[in-house]
A and B are shown apart, each in its own frame.
Chain A
Amino acid sequence: MPHHSLAFKFSVAWLALMALLSLLADGLPLPSPDAQDLNNMLAGPSGSHWLGADSLGRDILARTVHGLRLTFLVSFASVGLALVIGTCLGISAGYIGGWYDRGLSLGLNVLLAFPPLVLIVALVAYPGNMLIKIIASLALVFVPSITRIARASTLRFARLDFVAAAKVAGLSHHRIITRELMPNVLPVLLAYAFLLLGIGALAEAGLSYLGLGMPPSVPTLGGMMAAEQARILDAPHAVFFPGLVLFLTIFAINIVGERFNAGSEGARR
């Protein structure tokens, strides 16, 4: 797809830049994200505050970078967790089959019976460590779809000759699963998981916006926007800069993800 290559390159570059910024957030020559400066309340972009300041005079660029770090942390951790669980469940369901497979898919159907956002919100409302709750509940929402894809591609590969040959050769189940099935199933899953990163980032932002995510003292992109939206007419930059960064990042993830996914589409069928 040559006409996509420019957008694709920009997306990769943007993601690399954002990943770098959020990894190095503490070492960057930026003001502390929590440092208040009442002389600069709602100040527009300037030399000292590149993206301006919020209603407490806190540097928006610094808060955006730290907020992005949390967004990345939540989406990578939840997708990673779901990938580990879903791969194990899906491959074992496809390989073992029978009642185990049926029981598992019934359990997944129950999970799918909850509207995702309501499930997440209900779990997050529970007392406990917020970060762990957010990651775990997002992972729980991602597990069914990953399991289904893992199961379907396991079934497909399990019918092929090389797996049958491995069985005849008397290889152990463990060896067949890790050496023969995993290497074939994983690429398909990784391409799909990349698209989930964008959904994870959207969900984290939504929770923070609703005030159901991390405590208000922690800078999050959604929380920044919720806190400043009442002053949107005086200081649109305080609302829309975090929103723009969030949007561009998710857009880039989706563009790269669609490309990967299109590449593995043939393999999935």
Chain B
Amino acid sequence: MIDSKPKRLQVPALRRWVASSLTLLLTLFAVSVLSFLLVALLPGDVATTLLGDSATPERSAELRKELGLDQPLPRQYGTWLGKVMQGDLGQTFNSGEAISDMILARVPVTLELILLTQLLALAIAIPLGVWTAYKAGSVFDRLSLSVSLALLSMPTFVFALLLVYAVALKVPLLPSNGYAPLSDGLWANLRHMVLPVTTLALMEVPVYMRLLRSEMLTTLQQNFILLAKGMGLSLSRTLFQHALRPSSLSLITLVGLNMGRLMGGALIIETMFVLPGVGLLLVESIFQQEYLLTQAIVLFVAVAFILINTLTDWLYAWVDPRLKH
């Protein structure tokens, strides 16, 4: 059994694609079951828990029937999934709003935050990663490695509070929280995004920079780089055109992963800066004990995360022809 690790057969692209689609479906199924159980397995009488203080015996009985809680679990799951597939995630208990509308209203804010963050993070990390790899071992390289380790050790909110204290309160240059929609004008909108985006981006820079640096170190040893240098190509052309491209593949994967993670993972930043995105909604739902809303956000975020990751995988395979075989 120990030697059962077979020599890998060459997997044709089609089989690979089928396998990854199957895994995707299985994962989505498992994620939906887990999200379903999040509410179905609430201890005690679910209806009473969901209703909280407003629970009267009649209302509980009504809700139990509405949620189909008198049915066996698999049956309940089936009904629930059927509704979810049609975009019906239920209503909140306090306001009766449609949960799907609430989530969709928050998505643009989170998307803006994520996209701006990735742009800024890459704009800082790529030149730094390339340059530190080229100057590996220099004072600048060692310094930026230490700074990146320090940034990695900094809790997001500590860093954000420092920035708010310095840039928004001591010197009131920027708003310390809140959000302005694009309809208020681009400048008003961006002013509110500067601090949250900077904080999040600076937390991603060390990870991107370190990854790119180590990939570049390998690439710079390759013959074609030596050749390019020998042919007298300019330094910036060698580094940014010939060495960066083959070095940036794992960076693409990581950016994809982070985009997915941030779909729900900017909890702290959104809460702290009162940015009305998906993360803030999740935190609010927990405080208001809106279990159905919490469940819906967890499901939404997990599905978005899985889809973005799968897309990243496919993109990666498409960019790197070696993986097609």
Contact = CB atoms under 8 A, between A and B. Distances in A.
A114 B257 CA distance: 11
B286 interface: yes
Contact of B302 (A7, A114, A251): A114
Interface stretch (A20-28, A50-58, A75-83, A119-127): A119-127
A110 B30 contact: yes
Interface string B36-53: 001000111000010000
A258 B152 CA distance: 12
Interface centre among B34, B260, B261, B267 (most CB of A within 10 A): B267
Given A118-B264, A118-B265, A233-B169, A225 B149 contact: no
Interface residues of B, number: 53
Interface string B248-268: 000000000000110111011
Interface in B130-165: 142, 146, 149-150, 152-158, 161-162, 164-165
B301 interface: yes
Interface in A99-133: 106, 109-110, 113-118, 121-122, 125-128
A164 interface: yes
Contacts of B268: 206, 209-210
Contact of A251 (B43, B150, B286): B150
Interface stretch (B1-9, B106-114, B229-237): B1-9
Contacts of B153: 198, 202, 247, 250-251, 253-254
Contacts of B282: 118, 121
A156 B164 CA distance: 49
A101 to B, nearest CB: 9
Contact of A164 (B2, B169, B261): B2
B26 interface: yes
Contacts of B301: 115, 118
Contact of B31 (A96, A113, A205, A233): A113
Interface in A186-242: 198, 202, 205-206, 209-212, 222, 225-226, 229, 232-233, 236, 239-240
A125 B165 contact: no
A260 interface: no
A109 B268 CA distance: 25
B306 interface: yes
Interface residues of A, number: 53
A180 B38 CA distance: 41
A159 interface: yes
Given A117-B267, A209-B155, A98 B302 contact: no
Interface centre among B1, B164, B297 (most CB of A within 10 A): B1
Give the dominant DSSP class at A's interface. Answer: helix
B31 A110 contact: yes
Contacts of B263: 115
Interface in A242-260: 243, 246-247, 250-251, 253-255, 258
A150 to B, nearest CB: 16
B187 interface: no
A263 interface: no
A56 to B, nearest CB: 20
A115 B265 contact: yes
Nearest to A173: B1
Contacts of A250: 153-155
A225 B2 contact: no
A5 to B, nearest CB: 13
A12 to B, nearest CB: 15
For the complex of A and B, list the 10 residue pairs with the smallest distance between their C-beta atoms, beginning with the closest.
Answer: A251-B153, A243-B158, A110-B30, A250-B153, A118-B264, A125-B286, A115-B261, A122-B298, A205-B155, A117-B265
